[in-house]
Amino acid sequence: MERSPNPRARSTQPDAPWQGRHLLGLEDLSAGAIASILDRAQVHAQHAAQSREKSQALKGRVVFNLFFESSTRTRTSFSLAAKRLSADTQDFSPTGSSLSKGESFIDTARNLEAMGADILVVRHPTPGTPKLLAENVACAVVNAGDGAHEHPTQGLLDLLTIRRAKGRIEGLTVGLLGDIAHSRVARSNIWGLSKLGAKVILCGPPTLVPRGWERLGCEVAHHFDDILPRCDVVNVLRIQFERQHAGLFPSVGEYSHFYMMTQERIKRARPDLLLLAPGPINRGVELTPEVADGRHSAILDQVANGLAVRMAVLEMLGGERAE
Amino acid sequence: MATIQITGGRVIDPSQDLDFEGDLWLSRGRVLPHGSASEDADLVVDARGMIVCPGLIDVHVHLREPGNEEDETIATGARAALAGGVTSVACMPNTRPAIDTQAAAEFVVLQARRARQANVFPVGAVSKERKGEELAELGQLVAGGAVAFTDDGAPVVSAALMRTALEYARMFDRVVMQHCQVPELTLGGVMNEGFESMRLGLGGMPAAAEDIMVARDIRLAEITGGRLHIQHISTARSVELVREGQRRGVRVTAEACPHHFSLTDESLRSFDSNFKMNPPLRTWSDVEAVIEGLKDDTIEILATDHAPHAREKKMREIDLAPFGIVGLETLLPITIKCLIEPGHLTWPRVIRKLTCNAATLLNLTNKGTLRAGADADVTIIDPNARWTIDPAQFHSKSRNTPFGGWEVRGRAHAAIVSGELRFSRDPRHQLLIST
């Protein structure tokens, strides 16, 4: 049966370093490619801890942040990453632009390309939109989150945070907690963690963790207290309040009762539990403030690692390369 | 053109169980009795190596006129039909305004007559403005030429209205066609709900949304004695429900579309909106069940759900792009590739589902057959022509197909409507065709 070209065909060699033209998702990447990005990001992270000096890697390059959906943290992180590499950066968000006049997203991207964009960092509420853009422009495209599909740099920064804290990823048990069904962070984590050899447990109410994930090699659980003692890492996903309005869980209170990370629960976890949260977090819903600010929490490390990961990705996509 | 002799073809007419090599004669818009050779043909069509059959009938197309002429018009859609070997189409009423009055039905008939391409039969709306609230004037729609009723594009959601429609339509012995889908289960849906939608993060449309309404409507057809037709059946369970209903004697028929027996929801990994249709592409087990239903005649009819959309509408984010694909010009090659070549159906059985079964559904007594005196609508198929599907060559105004680039075999060679050669790929015929 004919089918469009399989993006995974590129990653046939599991240990080869990343050489992609775009970063659209972690599903497309081999373990070796992911590790090579993490290695490079680690260099940036260590450098940032010692020095304020900028890299010249993207001098003269133009990076556009094309955000069709609001974001402060991810956009700021990408902007700063580009600036740390000496690229010129420009934000473009559709509010008030010609998009509201009916211009298609592909036209918008082509316009930015005509302004000299070398890399488009794209966030869009619709899955697959970065891929469609990548097929229609010559510059590099980085997916900064496409609907519930993927958020690869978030996945990478979670991996980097785990690797730096635990020294490894292979063999760890990582619980992803909350709204798996509607989470791009969950999907990028699932692909990245599985490829690097971690065991992934998905935990949340059945309306937010529907059946089928076992086929991706994950364990599915609905009672957090049952799985917490087995977890080396728990990644607490943000709960979107509109899911409650859609009736997928009865109340925020009931959600918190089953899934909020509290001091009580921490006591039943492994002593070296690492706690991640992609944020922005709802204190008192997913995490109590004591836990968010406590010794298990790596939330601020994630932010710092996010900058390093985005620097590595932009540099590997936009720097000089042997062709 | 008074008399046409089609020579040397394999004549297949399932309405009479005919399958022979020889000649077919048409005169003054009618099929002549088999074997009644006349000496003075005005046109001789060489059909050696070809299949000659009753003109194909597609019971499910969208021609977009009036209201969305940027997608298709009655003239371009009827032309695309002929290029696909289809000499009669039944067009759905989800136009703007909807075909929900006698005048609207007559407009379709008039435009089709002006176009002089394929025959076009309007299907009238079940409800006024297709709102699903009040019954449309079904009797006056019939007077205007409507051959069936549907609110297609959307289902008749109200069980009470559906019951009333099935009951009332009995007065005209017309079928009610239903797009079966419980809408509250498919809100925000883009594709089949399942492993693939979960992996891609796209909104899902569960198979159960179709199954539930199929089950409901079969029961309603049973208690009313009305005629129910399940459009574009796509799930394994729905096929089973229809099979079981037929076994009980319920007057229920079903149609299947080429994309539902050739593609699965895995295609959505491309995020290409040409794989977005409603009902959505399902799983392999559904595809197998649809093929099984075609094989055991649970599904008596093949139809395209030809749904043209202008490029600028389809080239959008996949959740904003409209549902649907064009199908008239790929009907034959995809059917050959996926049903005939693998040995699921023979040529006569495929032709039966595209001719006499379709004619029976629409009460077209003189079509779908080569009986003496029937309308001289004939399709000539070259079953061996090898070609590559190139959307740029389509006669349809729109290009939204998932089959572009497919290497296929078999296509319509010529189409005769009312005894007139209106489409032919034979260069010698071009001067005869007045367009």
Query: Which value does ipTM take for this structure?
Result: 0.89
Residue B6, both tokens: 């089609």
A278 with A249, same domain: the answer is yes
Q: Do B271 and A210 touch (CB under 8 A)?
A: no
Residue A2 lies in a domain: no
Whole-prediction pTM = 0.93
CATH number at residue A314: 3.40.50.1370
Distances (CA, A) of B55 to A122, B33, B52, B121, B430: 51, 17, 9, 14, 20
List CB contacts (< 8 A) between A181 and chain B.
198
Query: Chain A: nearest CA to B409, how far in angstroms?
Result: 15
A249 with A140, same domain: the answer is no
Nearest Cα residue in chain B from A3: B267
pLDDT, tens only, B329-364: 999 999 999 999 999 999 999 999 999 999 999 999
A308 with A285, same domain: the answer is no
Residues 302-321 of B with CB under 8 A from A: 312, 315-320
pLDDT(A99) > 70: no
Domain count, chain A: 2
Instruction: Select from B261, B273, B165 the least CA-distant residue to B217.
Output: B165
A161 with A280, same domain: the answer is yes
Instruction: Select from A226, A124, A142, A220 the least CA-distant residue to A181.
Output: A220
Residue A29 CB-density burial (10 A; 0-12 exposed, 13-18 middle, 19+ buried): buried
A123 with A243, same domain: the answer is no
Distances (CA, A) of B178 to B9, B182, B307: 38, 12, 16
Looking at the complex, does the CB of residue B266 fall below 8 Å from at least one CB of chain A? yes
A70 with A82, same domain: the answer is yes
List CB contacts (< 8 A) between A106 and chain B.
315
Residue A1 lies in a domain: no
pLDDT, tens only, B104-163: 999 999 999 999 999 999 999 999 999 999 999 999 999 999 999 999 989 999 999 999
E-strand ranges in B305-403 read 378-388
Query: How remote is the C-alpha of A263 from its chain's centroid?
Result: 27
pLDDT of residue A36: 97
Q: Do B319 and A126 touch (CB under 8 A)?
A: yes
Q: Do A2 and B318 touch (CB under 8 A)?
A: no
Nearest Cα residue in chain A from B267: A3
pLDDT of residue A28: 93
CATH superfamily of B3-52+375-432: Urease, subunit C, domain 1 (2.30.40.10)
Looking at the complex, does the CB of residue A181 fall below 8 Å from at least one CB of chain B? yes
pLDDT of residue B34: 82
The answer to whether B211 and B243 have CB atoms below 8 angstroms apart is no
pLDDT of residue B332: 98
Per-residue pLDDT, averaged over B314-324, amounts to 93
Report the alpha-carbon distance of residue B330 to residue B420 in Å, rounded.
23
pLDDT(B33) > 70: yes
Q: Do A3 and B195 touch (CB under 8 A)?
A: no
List CB contacts (< 8 A) between B320 and chain A.
126
**Which string of b and e fits B99-108 if b means at least 16 CB within 10 Å?**
bbbbebbbbb
pLDDT(B435) > 60: no
Residue B171 CB-density burial (10 A; 0-12 exposed, 13-18 middle, 19+ buried): exposed
A230 with A288, same domain: the answer is yes
Looking at the complex, does the CB of residue A101 fall below 8 Å from at least one CB of chain B? no
Cα atoms in the 13 Å half-sphere on the side-chain side of A151: 24
A158 with A124, same domain: the answer is no
Nearest to A105 among B201, B263, B317 (CB): B317
A49 with A131, same domain: the answer is yes
Residue A323 lies in a domain: no
pLDDT, tens only, B41-92: 899 999 999 999 999 999 999 999 999 999 999 999 999 999 999 999 999 9
Name the average pLDDT for chain A.
Answer: 90
pLDDT bracket for residue A95 (50, 70, 90)? low
Q: Do A4 and B320 touch (CB under 8 A)?
A: no
pLDDT of residue A321: 47
Per-residue pLDDT, averaged over A176-193, amounts to 96
Report the alpha-carbon distance of residue B229 to residue B2 in Å, rounded.
38
Nearest to B271 among A128, A187, A210 (CB): A128
Q: Do B201 and A212 touch (CB under 8 A)?
A: no
Cβ-based contacts under 8 A for chains A and B: 66
Distances (CA, A) of B200 to B257, B380, B432: 25, 43, 52
Print the domain residue range for A50: 7-150+304-318
pLDDT of residue B433: 77
pLDDT of residue A13: 64
Q: For residues B139 and A71, which has the higher predicted lDDT (pLDDT)?
A: B139
A213 with A103, same domain: the answer is no
Mutating which of B199, B266, B276, B334 best tests the A interface, going by the most A Cβ atoms within 10 A?
Answer: B199
Residues 189-218 of A with CB under 8 A from B: 210, 212-213, 215-216
pLDDT(A245) > 90: no
Q: Do A127 and B270 touch (CB under 8 A)?
A: no
Nearest Cα residue in chain B from A246: B187
Q: Do B271 and A129 touch (CB under 8 A)?
A: yes
The answer to whether A56 and A315 have CB atoms below 8 angstroms apart is no
List CB contacts (< 8 A) between B185 and chain A.
none
pLDDT, tens only, A195-214: 999 999 999 999 999 888 99
Residue B39, both tokens: 């000496």
Looking at the complex, does the CB of residue A311 fall below 8 Å from at least one CB of chain B? no
Domain B55-361 in the same topology as domain B3-52+375-432? no
Residue A82 lies in a domain: yes
List CB contacts (< 8 A) between B262 and chain A.
1
pLDDT of residue A5: 43
Give the pairing type, strands A233-236 and A219-221: unpaired
Q: What is the CATH number of domain B55-361?
A: 3.20.20.140
Query: Chain A: nearest CA to B270, how far in angstroms?
Result: 6
- Catalytic residue numbers of B read 305
pLDDT(A268) > 50: yes
pLDDT of residue A51: 86
pLDDT bracket for residue A60 (50, 70, 90)? very high
Residue A219 lies in a domain: yes
Query: Chain A: nearest CA to B143, how far in angstroms?
Result: 42
pLDDT, tens only, A130-168: 999 999 999 999 999 999 999 999 999 999 999 999 999
pLDDT, tens only, A12-51: 466 788 999 999 999 999 999 999 999 999 999 999 888 8
Q: Do A131 and B271 touch (CB under 8 A)?
A: yes
